[in-house]
């Protein structure tokens, strides 16, 4: 019985220990803070995420771009980065010909394509109706061409498995070559994207003209062979005696 009383006394002493009570109180406060952080993260997702594609939106892109410029300016010319602008070619035709649900599906597909084929630390964002922008940390201007070539090759391969092919126009600009300021970077990348769009349209028209010429040759009626004229055979002249 004495042992039981000692155990009860020891248990009471531990529960009345101010350190233990403080730990319990801190644990409860931490649990409440975690709930509050989760709630704030949910609000942040609503503010910075595009609901259709799940990518970051224009607000997030602008904030990350400002941070990247500030970080690069502090680090000096040794730290570089690039910006990519992407636009879906003939997106209106997809919507008009196949319906807006098909257009939404294309937007979601492009988001998945970018997430899959860009580097893990790149920041793809949907910034407009059919426009996307990507922040490319630590990517200098001389490496942009390699990234674009790889994306175009992967797009061709992905389109081979699609009922509705998706064509994209790309443009890039790099810091510090494009000059200071985020607006200048975006404007230069946008200009390069439209140049790519014009080039693709010119190539498409040239291919169409070549195809039309070949079809006209195939559809043309066969040319009748001109009969060969034969000269009349002259008899041998009679000998004069």
CATH of the domain at 167: 3.30.70.270
Q: Can you tell me the distance from the alpha carbon of 163 to that of 165, in angstroms, rounded to the nearest whole number? A: 6
State the chain's mean pLDDT as an integer: 85
Residue 130 bears catalytic tag: yes
Tell me which of 62, 90, 104, 130 is the catalytic residue: 130
Q: Can you tell me the distance from the alpha carbon of 138 to that of 122, in angstroms, rounded to the nearest whole number? A: 9
pLDDT tens, 127-174? 999 999 999 999 999 999 999 999 999 999 999 999 889 999 999 999
Please tell me the total count of domains within the chain.
Answer: 1
Q: Is the pLDDT at 100 greater than 80, yes or no?
A: yes
Within a domain: 6: no
Average pLDDT over residues 100-108: 95
pLDDT of 202? 92
Within a domain: 238: no
Q: For the chain, what percent of residues have pLDDT higher than 70?
A: 78
Within a domain: 214: no
CA neighbor of 168 nearest in space, from 182, 178, 158, 179: 158
Q: Can you tell me the distance from the alpha carbon of 51 to that of 72, in angstroms, rounded to the nearest whole number? A: 31
pLDDT band at 191 (very low <50, low <70, confident <90, very high): very high
pLDDT tens, 64-91? 999 999 999 888 777 899 999 999 999 9
Q: Is the pLDDT at 13 greater than 70, yes or no?
A: no
pLDDT of 224? 63
CA neighbor of 148 nearest in space, from 171, 174, 127: 171
Identify whether 144 is preceded by a cis peptide bond (ω within 30 of 0): no
At 89, give phi and psi (nearest 5°).
-70, 135
Q: Is the pLDDT at 183 greater than 50, yes or no?
A: yes
Beta partners for residue 82, in sequence order: 136, 174
Within a domain: 53: no
Within a domain: 156: yes
Within a domain: 198: yes
pLDDT of 234? 57
Within a domain: 43: no
pLDDT of 220? 66
* Full residue range of the structural domain in which residue 67 is found: 58-204
pLDDT band at 178 (very low <50, low <70, confident <90, very high): confident
More confident residue, 221 or 141: 141
Within a domain: 119: yes
pLDDT of 228? 66
For every residue of the chain, DSSP letters joined together read: -HHHHHHHHHHHHHHT-HHHHHHHHHHHHHHHHHHHHHHHHHHHHHHHB-TTT-SB-HHHHHHHHHHHHHHHHHH-TT--EEEEEEEETTHHHHHHHH-HHHHHHHHHHHHHHHHHHS-TT-EEEE-SSSEEEEEEET--GGGHHHHHHHHHHHHHHHHTT-SS---EEEEEEEETTT-SSHHHHHHHHHHHHHHHHHHHHHHHHHHHHHHHHHHHHHHSPPPPPPPPP-PPPPPPPPPP-
pLDDT band at 238 (very low <50, low <70, confident <90, very high): very low
CA neighbor of 192 nearest in space, from 181, 203, 200: 200
pLDDT of 75? 86
Locate 216 and state its tokens: 């006209």
Average pLDDT over residues 229-238: 57
pLDDT of 241? 42
């Amino acid at each position: 019985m004495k042992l039981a009383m000692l155990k009860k006394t020891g248990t009471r002493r531990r529960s009345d220990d101010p350190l233990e009570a403080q730990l319990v109180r801190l644990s409860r406060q931490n649990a409440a803070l975690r709930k509050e952080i989760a709630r704030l993260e949910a609000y942040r997702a609503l503010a910075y995420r595009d609901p259709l594609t799940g990518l970051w939106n224009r607000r997030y892109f602008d904030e990350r771009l400002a941070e990247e410029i500030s970080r690069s300016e502090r680090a000096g010319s040794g730290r570089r980065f690039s910006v990519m602008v992407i636009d879906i070619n003939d997106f209106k035709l997809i919507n008009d010909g196949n319906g807006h649900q098909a257009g939404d599906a294309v937007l979601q597909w492009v988001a998945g394509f970018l997430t899959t084929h860009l580097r893990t630390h790149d920041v793809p964002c949907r910034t407009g109706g059919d426009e996307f922008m990507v922040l490319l940390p630590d990517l200098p201007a001389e490496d942009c061409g390699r990234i674009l070539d790889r994306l175009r090759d992967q797009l061709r391969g992905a389109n081979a498995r699609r009922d509705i092919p998706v064509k994209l126009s790309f443009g890039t600009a790099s810091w510090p070559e494009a000059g200071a300021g985020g607006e200048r970077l975006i404007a230069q990348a946008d200009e390069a994207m439209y140049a790519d769009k014009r080039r693709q349209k010119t190539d498409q028209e040239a291919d169409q003209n070549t195809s039309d010429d070949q079809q006209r040759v195939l559809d043309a009626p066969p040319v009748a062979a001109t009969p060969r004229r034969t000269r009349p055979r002259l008899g041998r002249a009679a000998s004069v005696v």
